[in-house]
Chains A and B, each alone.
Chain A
Amino acid sequence: MRFAGLIHIAWRSLARNKMRSFLTMLGVIIGVAAVIAMLAVGRGAGETMNSSIAGLGSNVINVFPGSRTQGPARMEAGASSRFREEDVAAVRKEAGAILYITPVARSQAQLKAGGQNWRTSVLGAYPEYLSIRQWPLTSGAAYTVSEERGAAKVCVIGRTVADNLFGAGSDPTGLSVRINNLPFRILGVLESKGQNSFGQDQDDIVLAPFSTVQKKVLGNLYVSSMMASAVSEAAMPEAAQQITEILLRRLRLPPGAEPDFTVRTQTEIAAAANAISGALTVLLSSIAGISLLVGGIGIMNIMLVSVTERTREIGLRLAVGARGRDILLQFLVEAMAISLVGGLIGVGLGIGVAAVLAGAQGWAVKVSVSSVAVAFAFSAATGMFFGWWPARKAARLNPIDALRYE
């Protein structure tokens, strides 16, 4: 029998029991839709994450006080080593794989300008901070080394801060802003970076000389963290190693002791992010696998019913000259038709769900051609696999038994 004829028979049989066909497809539809939607969201999220990690600068190294195993967040103040500015200077001098390094002091502060109020984080760091993060300014210029040394009350501000204090799109370069009631001169505005992978607005920031923030805003001599960049991406592990060695020595920890500070590189963060998205992929694949399995069992069940119901039809077809393989193909095509039509509807539904999620959550959602192809291929395979047994059962009927079946 010709293939077009088989398609025709399958189509007719499915159209005859529309509700039943639809319910049978439902498993495949849900499975495929889930796969498409989840892959789209996962991929979108992964891409957002990757681009924001790249936005941090690909060869950035962060050094936090507090050990990795204990977790910096749970450490009480004073319980672990604290860095001083001299430590930063020592690393800069001794670590050959380091290109830039800066101490970082972080504080929350209230900003005031022209009757507007804005609460934001003030970050104190050397001018090199902008080189480390590869962060250009849209107007004005960064503060100088001498302004850093002199603890000058100058700053550059992020786009969000500028928008909220001076109006959207404004250029407040040269204007003045009060930070915790101290007047600072705005030297420039940072280029917008948008949200980071954790959904924080990276433009909601004020950057001022480290010494200024330390002495005039925070009022202590400690360094919250350090940020450095390696001479190249390849030199990252070496740079991290050098920092660790120098700090261990300076903090007078015995060699081999668990360091109570954490050196974290962007590549590590990226690797962690990749591990998360890998785990997500495994999870999604198992959901997909399970729903396709359930859908497949549904198909098998309904195909068995169909073979039984149509035993006499099979007998008649055999009587007029159908071979076993013609009957096998007929039922296989029918099973595949269920799963492929289900797959098609599932792809449509999945894209729809992805679009709705994208709209509702503001995620970047990417439906890739490959995920559609994979979902489709899997649904076809499901039909093939689960349709095989009932089809073979039909093909093995002997004509007279089939014709006599009641």
Chain B
Amino acid sequence: MTALLAVKGLVKTYQLGETTVHALQGVDLQIERGEFVAIGGPSGSGKSTLMNILGCLDVPDSGEYRLDGEPVQDLGADELARVRNRKLGFVFQSFNLLARTTALENVELPLLYRGEVSPAQAQERALESLAKVGLQERAQHYPNQLSGGQQQRVAIARSMVNDPVLILADEPTGNLDTRTSLEIMQVFQDLNANGITIVLVTHEPDIAVFAKRQVVVRDGKITRDEPTPNVSNAREELAKFPLVEAAASPTEPLLVGKAD
């Protein structure tokens, strides 16, 4: 069986006036179904550039990219839109929720561009998705009425509402405190346990340990790629977290993985 994702010789350079920035200098990477990969590395090493290409948001200068059997480098704009819509979910560091739009509507968004989904179905699926991240009670809340962690959970619900083969998250915990970060990682671990492939960028080693495989990017190249020796369990870490802080936490107890 072929890899879910395979890139070969990805190169991306940016021309900034006189200087040329070599953001990616020949990246090869294969990811199988069901993996949970953390990409680390110093700032400016090209992690986001790689993620944007994997997410079909950006195109490389050269290199091949196969995703779920499709040769992405050969696809036109509308085809790429379809791939982003059906096969990929993207989670951003800055959440990127639409303002003045309820959590539910934010989660529905990818379904609206899918075409064959009726508004009633879209709503139902969005609610299910919100339930998986433990936010069904917040469906009618606006982003400015939610904490950062809750907003990121809405964004995760949005990324998975179309049952993608791959969820890409670029520093999803970058704007969150430690406890909230653990909650987000728990959501990702639960999603991964349900068979969704996840690639996540982080430069915090504490976060990377929740992934099953760790890739390090340095100066636009992959310099290390190995399984995580001892994968941590976010739920257990959360349980160990000091109770005082837990009580002060604005977030709700997580419902993910619990029987209702």
Contacts and interface: CB of A to CB of B under 8 A. Distances in A.
A296 interface: no
Nearest to A1: B112
Given A319-B90, A321-B84, A324-B81, 11 more contacts: A2-B119, A312-B96, A317-B109, A321-B86, A321-B114, A322-B85, A323-B82, A324-B77, A398-B58, A400-B52, A400-B57
Chain A interface: which size bin? 20 to 34
Given A316-B96, A316-B98, A403-B96, A321 B85 contact: yes
Interface in B45-64: 52, 55, 57-58
Interface of A is mostly: helix
Nearest to B98: A313
Contacts of A207: none
A400 B86 CA distance: 18
Interface in A1-20: 1-2, 4-5, 12, 16
Interface in A299-347: 312-313, 316-326
Interface of B: 52, 55, 57-58, 77-78, 81-82, 84-86, 90, 92, 96, 98, 100-101, 109-110, 112-114, 119, 158, 162
The 3 closest A-B pairs by CB, nearest first: A321-B85, A320-B110, A400-B58
Contact of B81 (A5, A323, A400): A323
A2 B113 CA distance: 8
A12 B101 CA distance: 9
A321 B100 contact: no
A124 interface: no
Nearest to A318: B81
Nearest to A312: B96
Nearest to B100: A16
A316 B86 CA distance: 15
Contacts of B96: 312, 316, 319, 403
B78 A320 contact: no
A319 B100 contact: no
Contacts of B84: 318-321, 399
Contacts of A321: 81-82, 84-86, 110, 113-114, 162
A115 to B, nearest CB: 81
26 contacts: A2-B112, A2-B119, A12-B101, A312-B96, A316-B98, A316-B109, A318-B57, A318-B81, A318-B84, A319-B84, A320-B84, A320-B85, A320-B90, A320-B109, A321-B84, A321-B114, A321-B162, A323-B82, A323-B113, A324-B77, A324-B78, A326-B113, A399-B84, A400-B58, A403-B57, A403-B96
Contact of A1 (B82, B92, B113): B113
A316 B89 CA distance: 11
Contacts of B77: 323-324
Nearest to A12: B100
A327 B204 CA distance: 37
Contact of A399 (B57, B100, B109, B113): B57
Nearest to B99: A313
B59 to A, nearest CB: 9
Contacts of B55: 319
B55 to A, nearest CB: 7
Contacts of B158: 320
